[in-house]
């Protein structure tokens, strides 16, 4: 996902310039070409809406909001079924924005090499561009797929009847015996600590290096596991 927001903002600057000179179709084509060259690859061209508070803001290249809506697609480090990105108080020419609101439906995040990706129900990120509060909700089935290989390697099999238990436990049965593990974050990685004597913690997920997301905590809510952290969307602009 590195650089995608930068390209979106740069493309929108072209869009603003195109509108000023009366050539919005050409500007839109240039935006789509820029997005594609950056690896932001939805199946269909995204819808882009730019709101200006006044004609003076249009001339200055400042937008109140910039909203991008895309269908299924992918970028470096993440794929999704649909994506909505809204930037607030945007300097189109300077490629800067004050706030961000991101909503990804059915995202999958790249893991460390040779490890399964982390599939999720939804990602939301809201707040300052440099530190947007982020929530990634994943179901028990998605958790099972994420942990399948390391669980088989460590425990010999994937426990049956897995379920999340508040505030931060996953439980099930292994060979007919109850088993549980605490889910926690350690040094930015998602860790599983089984309640088995002599069994060391199992690392399940480490965010890809190109995604400026800091994983901070986990909590079980409404039957899902929610990963909590901070997304530095503004850092993407500098790449």
pLDDT tens digits along 6-33: 556 566 566 555 555 443 343 345 445 5
End of a domain among 60, 77, 102?
Answer: 102
End of a domain among 102, 130, 153?
Answer: 102
* 23 and 84 together in one domain: yes
Instruction: Work out the end-to-end distance of the chain between its first and last CA atoms, rounded to an integer number of angstroms.
Output: 10
And the tokens for 168? Answer: 């931060």
* 210 and 193 together in one domain: yes
* 225 and 173 together in one domain: yes
Q: Which residues contact 120 (CB under 8 A, 6 or more apart)?
A: 106, 107, 108, 109, 136, 137, 138, 142, 227
pTM summary value: 0.85
And the tokens for 150? Answer: 């390391």
1 DSSP β-pair partners: none
End of a domain among 85, 102, 119?
Answer: 102
pLDDT tens-digit profile of 76-89? 778 899 999 898 99
Alpha carbon of residue 125 to chain centroid: 8
Q: Which residues contact 103 (CB under 8 A, 6 or more apart)?
A: 83, 84, 85, 122, 123, 124
Q: How many CB atoms lie within 10 A of CB 110?
A: 21
* 92 and 118 together in one domain: no
Distance between CA atoms of residues 237 and 71, nearest Å: 22
* 151 and 223 together in one domain: yes
- Scanning the structure block, which residue is given the tokens 């706030």? 99
Residues 114 and 144 sit within 8 Å (Cβ to Cβ): no
Distance between CA atoms of residues 161 and 178, nearest Å: 10
* 97 and 141 together in one domain: no
* 116 and 13 together in one domain: no
* 174 and 217 together in one domain: yes
* 129 and 237 together in one domain: yes
Evaluate the CA torsion angle 157, 114, 132, 44 in order and state its sign.
negative
List the domain range (segments joined by +) for residue 55. 1-102
* 199 and 147 together in one domain: yes
Q: Which residues contact 17 (CB under 8 A, 6 or more apart)?
A: 27
Q: Give the model's pLDDT for residue 2.
A: 56
Spans of the chain, pLDDT less than 50: 21-28, 30-31
CA nearest to 118, candidates 42, 40, 206: 206
And the tokens for 164? Answer: 């999340």
Number of domains in the chain: 2
CA nearest to 133, candidates 141, 124, 142: 124
* 147 and 89 together in one domain: no
* 225 and 113 together in one domain: yes
């Amino acid at each position: 996902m590195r650089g995608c927001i930068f390209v979106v903002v740069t493309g929108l600057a072209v869009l603003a310039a195109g509108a000023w000179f009366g050539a919005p179709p050409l500007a839109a084509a240039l935006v789509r070409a820029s997005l594609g060259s950056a690896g932001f690859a939805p199946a269909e061209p995204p819808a882009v809406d730019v709101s200006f508070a006044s004609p003076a803001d249009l001339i200055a290249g400042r937008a109140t909001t910039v909203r991008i809506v895309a269908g299924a697609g992918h970028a470096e480090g993440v794929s999704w079924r649909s994506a909505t990105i809204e930037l607030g108080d945007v300097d189109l020419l300077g490629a800067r924005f004050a706030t961000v609101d991101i909503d990804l439906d059915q995202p999958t995040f790249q893991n460390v090499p040779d490890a399964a990706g982390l599939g999720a129900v939804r990602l939301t990120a809201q707040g300052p561009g440099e530190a947007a509060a982020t929530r990634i909700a994943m179901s028990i089935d998605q958790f099972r797929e994420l942990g399948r290989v390391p669980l088989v390697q460590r425990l010999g099999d994937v426990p049956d009847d897995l379920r999340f238990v508040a505030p931060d436990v996953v439980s099930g049965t292994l060979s007919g015996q109850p088993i549980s593990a605490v889910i926690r974050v350690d040094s930015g990685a998602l860790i599983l600590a089984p309640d088995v004597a002599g069994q060391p913690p199992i690392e399940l997920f480490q965010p890809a290096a190109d995604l400026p997301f800091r994983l901070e905590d986990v909590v079980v809510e409404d039957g899902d596991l929610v990963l909590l952290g901070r997304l530095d969307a503004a850092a993407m602009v500098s790449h």
